[in-house]
């Protein structure tokens, strides 16, 4: 552990181990990017919404200490049943982290990005963080390196970050106003002193803004994460979005505050609520006028492994990886072939989409506006509808409209198929899933049982298993067209061949 920063290994009030989330662009936003930027984001699951269906990320928990305190943070170690930033099962040394990264990369070839996101602040643990990056850039040059920070130590770290070929940095910026900052950060640790209130928040904000400018000057992609805290910074985040964009941030990820009382954070204990899904979406839409927004963040643990939304950490404990015999040279060849295959698939998808858009553009008029509607999708990756309703731990929500299909958010649920029927858990998990799908009119999945089918229908949500193993976008589009055709989305007039592929 580093000695020049506070060793905060004891559980204290906080949430979101510094990782406070990250970012993502849609296909359409990608197509306008210069080639060098496209290359950086196209297989990064956080920076590209499309990529997150195919490519995985992993975090190594090498950074236990933090140099500030956030009212939403409580770091927990040895915890395997909470999924939120700041939580880890085991802390690693840099050597262990490198060994684990190579083991994961060899076993999950779709893993393209290694991030350090806590459980404290990576840049408050510079020796451990940079030693990990140094070894990985030498031993596993095919892995992108990524770091997430609160920004306090960022200006002092920019040169070191540039040296290690790290071209993705996330800064958590919750405010640019010290008065608001004092309501989020009770103190910071700066020049060997604890500085409280507005004075501390002012220093933090200055360092974050300076770090952002220094990184963008060097061509390093910066994503800004903001935690939306109703009544504290919710009205102010549009201004944050404008400012960070003007300074060159590539993406903005507005995430909901997590503040369950049982997490033991200051906000949780004080009853500070998080935003509703609708409040979050409205703010993301408002900020989207100014910059690219990430909407697919899963607020990962600081030791997460796998596709966003899944966690395969249990397969790669230190005990297990010590028994693995990894030939990384050989693994790199397999990885390169897998990546090439996925990239080819994505390129084909892009061509197909472009053709669809151009066929819609050139279609005969008039094309009437039908109301948009929300559809939920059960997927376990690869951009396909490939999950049983009862096995889903989250649903992806898409908006379908005559303008096209757009990803809106994900909604977490408890897996009802493994619930214990005898004590009512299964029933309550199913009821919870149905509640979580509020506002959606259709749910697409690979299979669904008789009981949930009926209950979903009663709740006004139409289950649909006809598109099992089909691509998500095409299926959502097709169902929307069917709904137009059968009059569900009532409109005066529409030329159906205008929206058919």
Interaction partner, residue 115 (ligand CLF, ligand SF4, none; CB < 5-8 Å by kind): ligand CLF
Q: How far is the CB of 374 from ligand CLF (least distance, A)?
A: 22
**Nearest-approach distance from CB 6 to ligand SF4, in angstroms:** 10
**Smallest distance from ligand SF4 to CB 33, Å:** 29
Residue of minimal Cβ distance to ligand CLF: 22
Q: How far is the CB of 479 from ligand CLF (least distance, A)?
A: 27
Site string for ligand SF4, 54-73 (x = CB under 6 A): ------------x-xxx--x
> Is 58 within 8 Å of 111 (Cβ atoms)?
yes
Q: Which tokens go with 174?
A: 């919750």
> Token pair for residue 138?
């030498």
Partnered with residue 147 across adjacent β-strands are: 116, 169
Contact between 253 and ligand CLF per CB under 6 A: yes
Residues of span 55-114 touching ligand CLF by CB under 6 A: 57, 59, 113
> Burial of 450 by CB count in 10 Å (0-12 exposed, 13-18 middle, 19+ buried)?
exposed
- Verify binding: residue 22, ligand CLF, rule CB under 6 A: yes
Closest approach of Cβ 8 to ligand SF4, in Å? 7
Judged by beta carbon distances under 5 to 8 A according to partner kind, the member of ligand CLF, ligand SF4, none in contact with residue 268 is none
How far, in Å, CA of 271 to CA of 265, rounded? Answer: 10
Alpha carbon distance 318, 331 (integer Å): 19
Among 62, 70, 99, 146, binds ligand CLF (CB under 6 A): 146
463, 389 Cβ separation under 8 angstroms: yes
Report the residue number, 61 or 103, with the smaller CB distance to ligand SF4.
61
Stretch that binds ligand CLF, among 18-26, 132-140, 350-358, 380-388 (CB under 6 A): 18-26
- Phi/psi for 14 (5° steps) reads -175, 170
Number of residues in contact with ligand CLF under rule CB under 6 A: 20
Going by C-alpha positions, the residue among 300, 73, 65 that lies closest to residue 185 is 73
- What 446-453 contacts at long range (C-beta under 8 Å, 24+ apart), as own/partner pairs, is 446/378, 446/385, 446/386, 446/387, 446/388, 447/388, 447/389, 448/388, 448/389, 448/390, 449/389, 449/390, 452/389, 452/390, 452/416
Helix (H) or strand (E) holding 114: strand 111-116
Element (H, E) at 265: none
Verify cis geometry, omega within 30 degrees of 0, for the bond prior to 435. no
Helix axes 94-107, 328-361, angle to 10 degrees: 60
Interacting residues with ligand SF4 between 146 and 165 (CB under 6 A): 150
Stretch near ligand SF4 under the rule CB under 6 A, chosen from 114-122, 205-213, 245-253, 332-340: 114-122
Structure token digits, residue 422 = 């005898």
Place of tokens 């929206």: 499
For the record, the structure tokens of 327 come out as: 């030939």
Which among 135, 117, 93, 88 is positioned nearest to 322, based on CA atoms? Answer: 93
Pairing state between β 373-377 and 394-401: antiparallel
Q: How far is the CB of 59 from ligand CLF (least distance, A)?
A: 5
**H or E element that contains 125:** none
Tell me the per-residue interface mask from 467 to 486 with ligand CLF, x by CB under 6 A, - otherwise.
Answer: --------------------
- Binding-site member from 64, 120, 181, 275 for ligand SF4 (CB under 6 A): 120
Question: Of residues 18, 184, 237, 240, which one binds ligand SF4 by CB under 6 A?
Answer: 18
Is the Cα torsion angle 265, 266, 271, 277 positive or negative in sign? negative
353 binds ligand CLF (CB under 6 A): no
Q: Whose Cβ is closer to ligand CLF: residue 71's or residue 410's?
A: 410
Which residue number, 161 or 489, has a Cβ lying nearer to ligand CLF? 161
User: What is the distance between the alpha carbons of residues 81 and 92, in angstroms, rounded to a whole number?
Assistant: 19
Q: In whole angstroms, what is the distance from residue 209 CA to residue 177 CA? A: 12
Told to check if 21 binds ligand CLF by CB under 6 A, we report: yes
**Residue 325: CB minimum distance to ligand SF4, A:** 35
Only segment of 15-23, 90-98, 243-251, 375-383 that touches ligand CLF (CB under 6 A): 15-23
CB 187 to ligand SF4: min, Å? 10
Among 86, 155, 383, 390, binds ligand SF4 (CB under 6 A): 86
The first and second tokens of residue 352, run together, are 């197909």
Q: Site for ligand SF4 (CB under 6 A): how many residues? A: 15
Shortest distance (Å) from residue 223 CB to ligand CLF: 6
Stretch that binds ligand CLF, among 211-219, 296-304, 377-385, 470-478 (CB under 6 A): 296-304
Site stretch for ligand SF4 (CB under 6 A), options 9-17, 320-328, 359-367, 471-479:
9-17
Q: How many CA atoms lie within 13 A of 416 on its CB side?
A: 20
Of residues 32 through 51, those in contact with ligand CLF by CB under 6 A are 46
Closest CA to 338 of 90, 18, 56: 56
Task: Give the one entry of ligand CLF, ligand SF4, none that residue 456 binds, where binding means its C-beta sits below a cut-off of 5 to 8 angstroms depending on kind.
Answer: none
Q: Give the interface with ligand CLF as residue ranges (CB under 6 A).
A: 19, 21-23, 46, 57, 59, 113, 115, 117, 146, 148, 168, 170, 253, 297-300, 308
Q: Give the interface with ligand SF4 as residue ranges (CB under 6 A).
A: 14, 16-18, 20, 66, 68-70, 73, 86, 118, 120-121, 150
């Amino acid at each position: 552990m580093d000695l020049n920063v506070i060793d905060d290994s004891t559980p204290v009030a906080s949430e979101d181990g510094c990782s406070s989330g990250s970012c993502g662009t849609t296909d359409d936003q990608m197509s306008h990017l210069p080639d060098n930027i496209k290359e950086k984001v196209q297989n990064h699951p956080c920076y590209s919404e499309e990529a997150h269906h195919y490519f995985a990320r992993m975090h190594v928990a090498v950074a236990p200490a933090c140099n500030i305190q956030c009212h939403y943070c409580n770091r927990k170690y040895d915890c395997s049943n909470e999924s939120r930033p700041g939580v880890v099962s085991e802390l690693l040394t840099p050597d262990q982290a490198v060994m684990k990264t190579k083991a994961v990369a060899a076993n999950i070839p779709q893993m393209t990005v290694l991030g350090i996101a806590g459980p404290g602040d990576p840049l408050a643990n510079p020796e451990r963080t940079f030693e990990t990056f140094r070894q990985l850039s030498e031993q596993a040059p095919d892995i992108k390196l990524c770091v997430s920070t609160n920004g306090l130590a960022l200006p002092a770290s920019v040169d070191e970050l540039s040296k290690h070929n790290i071209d993705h940095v996330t800064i958590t910026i919750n405010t640019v106003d010290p008065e608001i900052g004092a309501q989020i950060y009770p103190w910071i640790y700066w020049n060997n002193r604890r500085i409280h209130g507005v004075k501390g928040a002012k220093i933090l904000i200055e360092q974050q803004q300076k770090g952002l400018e220094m990184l963008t000057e060097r061509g390093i992609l910066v994503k800004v994460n903001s935690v939306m805290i109703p009544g504290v910074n919710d009205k102010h985040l549009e201004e944050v979005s404008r400012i960070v964009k003007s300074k060159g941030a590539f993406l903005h990820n507005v995430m909901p505050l997590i503040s369950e009382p049982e997490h033991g954070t200051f906000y949780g204990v004080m009853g500070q609520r998080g935003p509703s899904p609708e409040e979050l979406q409205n703010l993301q839409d408002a900020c989207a006028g100014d910059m690219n927004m990430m909407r697919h963040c899963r607020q990962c643990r600081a030791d997460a492994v796998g596709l966003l939304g899944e966690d395969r950490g249990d397969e790669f404990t230190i005990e297990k990886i010590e028994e693995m015999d990894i030939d990384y040279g050989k693994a790199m060849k397999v990885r390169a072939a897998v990546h090439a295959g996925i990239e080819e698939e994505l390129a084909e998808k892009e061509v197909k989409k472009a053709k669809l858009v151009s066929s819609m553009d050139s279609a005969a008029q008039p094309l009437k506006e039908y109301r948009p509607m929300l559809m939920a999708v059960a997927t376990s990756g690869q951009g396909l509808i490939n999950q049983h309703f009862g096995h889903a731990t989250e649903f992806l929500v898409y908006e379908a409209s005559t303008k096209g299909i757009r990803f809106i958010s994900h909604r977490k649920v408890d897996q009802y198929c493994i619930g214990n029927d005898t004590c009512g858990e299964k029933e309550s998990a199913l009821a919870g899933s149905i509640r979580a799908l509020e506002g959606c009119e259709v749910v697409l999945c690979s299979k669904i049982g008789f009981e949930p089918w009926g209950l979903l229908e009663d709740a006004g949500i139409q289950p649909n298993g006809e598109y099992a193993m089909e691509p998500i976008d095409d299926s959502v589009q097709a169902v929307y067209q069917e709904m137009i055709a059968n009059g569900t989305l009532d409109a005066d007039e529409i030329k159906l061949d205008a929206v058919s592929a």
